[in-house]
Structure 1
Amino acid sequence: MENGEQPLLTTRADDLNTIFGYEDDARPRTKIQGFLKDFWVESKKLWYLASPAIITSVCQYSLGAITQIFAGNIGTSQLAAISVENSIIAGFSYGIMWGMGSGLETLCGIAFGAGQLEMLGIYMQRSWVILNTTALMLMFTYIFATPILKIIGQTDEISEDAGTFALWMIPQLFAYAMNYPLAKFLQAQNKFMVMAVISVLALVFHAFFSWLLIAKLGWGMAGAAVVLNLSWWFIVLTQLLYILRGACGRAWTGFSWMAFQNLSGFLKLSLASAIMLALEVWYIDSLTLLAGYLKNAEISVDASTICANILGWTTMVGSGFNAATSVRVSNELGAIHPREAKFSTVVVGITSLLIGLFLALILIITGKQYPSLFSNDSDVQELVYQLTPLLGFGIVVYNLQLALAGVAIGAGWQAYVAYVNLGCYYLFGIPLALLLGFKFNLGVQGLWWGVLFGSVLEGCVLIWIINRTNWNNEASMAGDRLKQWGGESEESEI
């Protein structure tokens, strides 16, 4: 802490400081030596949290990918239908649910850092109420998936099959509604390893039963739906069982009617989080959609989809740092440790940038070889190769951007960043992409340039915001934010 103050409560943020140590030794150090020592200490903390978070992200991201791999044995139309449902119908819901769950990430992180453990379970239950209500409304996109897909230009055959598959996938929608509050509740307490173990088990379960039901027994799309639903509910029920067994101590004291109180402030933060992150998810998806209107649309869409999938895999590292950073920042602000919160943003920014450069370098070195792993079409392979420099640039940008978004979530800036995303992405990036891709006839490369320039602008704005932040004020306002978003009566309840 600054100015010689002492924390009022011993929290997990303090525990991490004790384990890895910010304390100076007795030897005199130069500024560079001091920076490098503190950088190493904070890096250990971030990797301690981020490593299992990355494993969790990769495993959960792989569930849908494995389903699509096995669906290739069913038929071309069925594979396309499952892919369309995963990317459009489920992807739309995923963006909203993930975003709304991130509101809980801010509140639980600050409350845990402040030692207000009893409120974590209440916050999680409030998030369940809000997300399950949202799921009931989103369910209509699953029910009417067929006409929706026809309206946006999908073929009748794919729309019919995808619509049928969407109806079967409604249980997954409610698994999303339960899972994200559970995940944020556990993340705030730094229980990343538990989530990683559960996700690995779910992935193994998913791969085996996908092979059994789809490839071996020939259940087709029905088998794909059964396994995907069961895998997500396995994650939900296992995490819930872990909590109900008492592993979270005072953070879970049982179900309470308080979950239905003071929902308005909580809802505002959840909606701001949903807008912030959903705009991010849908922005990347726009590349594939816009590519469908180009000349040689099939080749453009295939190449853009391959690059987007690679971008998704490589940014799982950024997703892990996103979760770890939001926990570090919110915990330290809740514990009134502004210096540690500020320094964590510096370390995660540098680390994610270096990781992005490393991954991009690997991709560029293998630029002639890797396209053949995804397509047998020589035209598609050539276009993917031409897009490789842009894809490498995108990997660097999005790994850094996800880390900075974690800072915003931890500090509770979701509403502000939602406006930034709207302006940078949809008022600058998309129009520029359309201009370059269609007006200047740069094709799919023009679309990628436009979208990436929008992302670079967003990243620059976030860096500017973080650089101008008064972290002492942020720490002092953490308690006020708990009252504002968690409910007016929080102080009397604790």
Structure 2
Amino acid sequence: MDAVSSMETTDLHSAPTTFIGSSDGDYPVIKTFNDAKTICFVESQKLWAIAGPIAFNILCNYGVNSFTNIFVGHIGNLELSAVAISLSVIANFSFGFLLGMASALETLCGQAFGAGQVEMLGVYMQRSWIILIITCFGLLPLYVFATPILKLLGQEDDIANLAGKFSIQTIPQMFSLAINFPTQKFLQAQSRVSVLAWIGFATLILHIGILYVFIELFGWGTSGAAAAYNFSAWGMSLAQVFYIVRWCTDGWKGLSWLAFKELWSFAKLSLASAVMLCLEIWYFMTIIVLTGHLDDPVIAVGSLSICMNLNGWEGMLFIGINAAISVRVSNELGSAHPRAAKYSVIITIIESLIIGIFFGGIILAAKDHFAIIFTESKEMQQAVSRLAFLLSITMMLNSVQPVISGVAVGGGWQALVAYINLFSYYIVGLPLGFLLGYKTRMRVEGIWIGMIFGTSLQTLILLYIVYKTNWNKEVEQASERMRQWTGDELVVVDNKKKSGQEGGPLIL
């Protein structure tokens, strides 16, 4: 029986794919090109069924911020600058930190779902709610003292004062993230992602309507924008909670005192996830800050910002892929399917690299023209054209790097990746960028080359780690992690049987 006829796929919302030719439910060993082709087709279906809706949801969230800026921009330039600074500095910092904290759920919920411990998903989600709400109280000073912080960073008094007022008014939105992110991870772990796309789309449409009413009809100005921002954020969060309570009864068993168990261990994994993600976010923010101190900063920052804007749009797609590969790896490790985890990583890296090369090629082909979308200044367009080659390389690098970060989250390697990011970005990349940007004539190109070198180093190190990974051992560690947080010794025994430790070893 050939590979094509021996494979039978299950519903995309189930954890592993079942294969008639594989008694343990794992992918069979690839022996022929037809084997590879069939597994690639099956895995691609699973990956994009998760990645597509998540990417769309992220796009809608991005649209909420964008339309807030658009409506405020019609009030006045001062209001636009203040709100943009508040959202890009204060809100973006808390967004990244809380998202990183919640990413621990991608490891735990994904592996629990794969191991059949579905009832633990609700407990983990509640644990994450507790930890993120506590974290929000820790982030409050950032909002309360936003005005002096922004002045310290060099913002003009008028902008800093209004941005600080807007930041305080959007504190409810920050607390909504403590509910929003864990519910997202809960749904992602089970591949219930289409509902996230629909809720995100409905929130965007609702947000535009509320902005119009509060700003255009009621004339509430930036206070109206803040109210709309809070209302939409809580609307999205509560809609996700309602869906879970109403339709996810297998994973949601009601509020549980188990949520308070192992909080410290859970918090450590959450903090490692947050540090891993924030080190990446801060790295790219620091590049903009360094560029702002060059000669002719308007052109330098403007040209780099245009390039980073385009890179950000591509990044939304790869954030979806990042979440999808995290779900796939954690599900398969929890199901004791090491080959499926390994093959999903390989296939996703290859497909992502192809997408990155495609986008990089488009940038090179249109290097003298795409800046027209953003500016009519010929000088700015020429500056962007000079950076197009570096943008193309960055897009190709950023197609692989998020995938490996997603693998790290799915496997529970957050602390290791945090150390690698610290070394690659802050010990190698930033110093090199500072040296090339300020000590040579390369200026903004030198700063960006340093950034690329740091990202390349991080990607190569993570690729080597993935290449050397013993996926059978990762299954053992996933089993041990489930035992630690569920207290269920049967998880370890059952997964040892699945992974081949009893009855002979698995051969990858």
State the TM bucket, normalised to the shorter chain: over 0.9
d(CA) in 2 for partners of 1:17, 1:160: 55
- The one-letter amino acid of 1:392's match is S
- Per the alignment, do residues 154 and 21 of structure 1 end up closer, same or farther by CA in structure 2, a change over 3 Å counting? farther
d(CA) in 1 for partners of 2:297, 2:216: 31
**Other structure's SS at 1:254 match:** coil
- The one-letter amino acid of 2:49's match is Y
Name 1:202's counterpart in structure 2: 203
What pairs up with 1:338-349 in 2 under 5 angstroms? 338-349=338-349
Aligned pairs, how many?
Answer: 478
d(CA) in 2 for partners of 1:286, 1:175: 27
Percent of paired sites with the same residue: 44
> Do the aligned residues in 1 keep the contact of 2:15 with 2:332 (CA within 8 Å)?
no
> Do the aligned residues in 2 keep the contact of 1:367 with 1:385 (CA within 8 Å)?
yes
Name 2:415's counterpart in structure 1: 415
d(CA) in 2 for partners of 1:263, 1:491: 20
Name 2:279's counterpart in structure 1: 279
Name 2:146's counterpart in structure 1: 145
What pairs up with 1:197-276 in 2 under 5 angstroms? 197-215=198-216, 217-245=218-246, 247-276=247-276
**Deviations 1:265-318, CA, capped at 9 Å, x for gaps:** 101100110110111111111121111111111222222222222211111111
d(CA) in 2 for partners of 1:442, 1:330: 43
- The one-letter amino acid of 1:296's match is D
What pairs up with 1:452-467 in 2 under 5 angstroms? 452-467=452-467
**Deviations 1:230-267, CA, capped at 9 Å, x for gaps:** 1211110100111111x112210001122112111101
- Per the alignment, do residues 217 and 350 of structure 1 end up closer, same or farther by CA in structure 2, a change over 3 Å counting? same
**Deviations 1:451-486, CA, capped at 9 Å, x for gaps:** 1111111111110000000001111221112244x3
Name 1:173's counterpart in structure 2: 174
**Other structure's SS at 1:315 match:** helix
Shift of 1:365: 2.3
d(CA) in 2 for partners of 1:12, 1:36: 18
d(CA) in 2 for partners of 1:347, 1:65: 34
> Do the aligned residues in 2 keep the contact of 1:90 with 1:173 (CA within 8 Å)?
yes
Shift of 1:11: 10
Name 1:7's counterpart in structure 2: none
d(CA) in 2 for partners of 1:83, 1:288: 15
> Do the aligned residues in 1 keep the contact of 2:14 with 2:190 (CA within 8 Å)?
no
**Deviations 1:311-334, CA, capped at 9 Å, x for gaps:** 111111111111110010000000
**Other structure's SS at 1:376 match:** coil
Name 2:367's counterpart in structure 1: 367
> Do the aligned residues in 2 keep the contact of 1:113 with 1:331 (CA within 8 Å)?
yes
**Other structure's SS at 1:253 match:** coil
**Other structure's SS at 2:154 match:** coil
Higher helix fraction (1 or 2): 1
d(CA) in 2 for partners of 1:424, 1:147: 32
Name 1:393's counterpart in structure 2: 393
- Per the alignment, do residues 21 and 442 of structure 1 end up closer, same or farther by CA in structure 2, a change over 3 Å counting? farther
Unaligned 5+ segments in structure 2 are: 1-9, 493-508
- The one-letter amino acid of 1:365's match is A
- Per the alignment, do residues 493 and 411 of structure 1 end up closer, same or farther by CA in structure 2, a change over 3 Å counting? closer
- The one-letter amino acid of 1:138's match is L
- The one-letter amino acid of 1:347's match is I
**Other structure's SS at 1:224 match:** helix
- The one-letter amino acid of 1:320's match is G
**Deviations 1:146-174, CA, capped at 9 Å, x for gaps:** 00011111111111111011011101110
Name 1:37's counterpart in structure 2: 38
> Do the aligned residues in 2 keep the contact of 1:73 with 1:215 (CA within 8 Å)?
no
> Do the aligned residues in 2 keep the contact of 1:11 with 1:115 (CA within 8 Å)?
no
> Do the aligned residues in 2 keep the contact of 1:169 with 1:229 (CA within 8 Å)?
yes
Q: Which has the higher contact order (CA 8 A, sep 6+)?
A: 1
Name 2:73's counterpart in structure 1: 72
- Per the alignment, do residues 132 and 454 of structure 1 end up closer, same or farther by CA in structure 2, a change over 3 Å counting? same
**Deviations 1:52-84, CA, capped at 9 Å, x for gaps:** 111111111221122122222122221111111
- The one-letter amino acid of 1:86's match is L
d(CA) in 2 for partners of 1:186, 1:46: 15
d(CA) in 2 for partners of 1:366, 1:15: 42
What pairs up with 1:316-331 in 2 under 5 angstroms? 316-331=316-331
- The one-letter amino acid of 1:457's match is L
Shift of 1:15: 5.6
> Do the aligned residues in 2 keep the contact of 1:16 with 1:45 (CA within 8 Å)?
no
> Do the aligned residues in 2 keep the contact of 1:12 with 1:189 (CA within 8 Å)?
no
**Other structure's SS at 1:42 match:** helix
Name 1:450's counterpart in structure 2: 450
- The one-letter amino acid of 2:480's match is D
> Do the aligned residues in 2 keep the contact of 1:111 with 1:119 (CA within 8 Å)?
yes
Name 1:306's counterpart in structure 2: 306
d(CA) in 1 for partners of 2:397, 2:171: 34
d(CA) in 2 for partners of 1:20, 1:225: 55
- Per the alignment, do residues 89 and 197 of structure 1 end up closer, same or farther by CA in structure 2, a change over 3 Å counting? same
> Do the aligned residues in 2 keep the contact of 1:11 with 1:112 (CA within 8 Å)?
no
d(CA) in 1 for partners of 2:177, 2:250: 25
Name 1:119's counterpart in structure 2: 120
d(CA) in 2 for partners of 1:328, 1:30: 23
> Do the aligned residues in 2 keep the contact of 1:287 with 1:304 (CA within 8 Å)?
no
Shift of 1:493: 12
Shift of 1:220: 2.2
> Do the aligned residues in 2 keep the contact of 1:175 with 1:233 (CA within 8 Å)?
yes
- Per the alignment, do residues 387 and 21 of structure 1 end up closer, same or farther by CA in structure 2, a change over 3 Å counting? farther
> Do the aligned residues in 1 keep the contact of 2:16 with 2:332 (CA within 8 Å)?
no
d(CA) in 2 for partners of 1:21, 1:96: 44
What pairs up with 1:6-85 in 2 under 5 angstroms? 17-18=17-18, 31-85=32-86
> Do the aligned residues in 1 keep the contact of 2:72 with 2:225 (CA within 8 Å)?
yes
**Deviations 1:128-157, CA, capped at 9 Å, x for gaps:** 110000000101100000000111111111
**Range 357-366 or range 154-163, more displaced:** 357-366
d(CA) in 2 for partners of 1:369, 1:200: 31
> Do the aligned residues in 1 keep the contact of 2:303 with 2:383 (CA within 8 Å)?
yes
> Do the aligned residues in 2 keep the contact of 1:11 with 1:335 (CA within 8 Å)?
no
Q: If the length of structure 1 is used for normalisation, what is the TM-score?
A: 0.92
d(CA) in 1 for partners of 2:12, 2:119: 15
- Per the alignment, do residues 461 and 49 of structure 1 end up closer, same or farther by CA in structure 2, a change over 3 Å counting? same
d(CA) in 2 for partners of 1:22, 1:234: 45
> Do the aligned residues in 1 keep the contact of 2:483 with 2:491 (CA within 8 Å)?
no
d(CA) in 2 for partners of 1:192, 1:358: 26
- Per the alignment, do residues 482 and 381 of structure 1 end up closer, same or farther by CA in structure 2, a change over 3 Å counting? same
Shift of 1:115: 0.4
- The one-letter amino acid of 1:454's match is G
d(CA) in 1 for partners of 2:376, 2:157: 27
- The one-letter amino acid of 1:465's match is I
d(CA) in 2 for partners of 1:370, 1:94: 30
Shift of 1:22: 8.3
d(CA) in 2 for partners of 1:305, 1:219: 31
- The one-letter amino acid of 1:250's match is D
- Per the alignment, do residues 90 and 32 of structure 1 end up closer, same or farther by CA in structure 2, a change over 3 Å counting? same
**Deviations 1:95-117, CA, capped at 9 Å, x for gaps:** 11011000111000000000011
- Per the alignment, do residues 32 and 225 of structure 1 end up closer, same or farther by CA in structure 2, a change over 3 Å counting? same
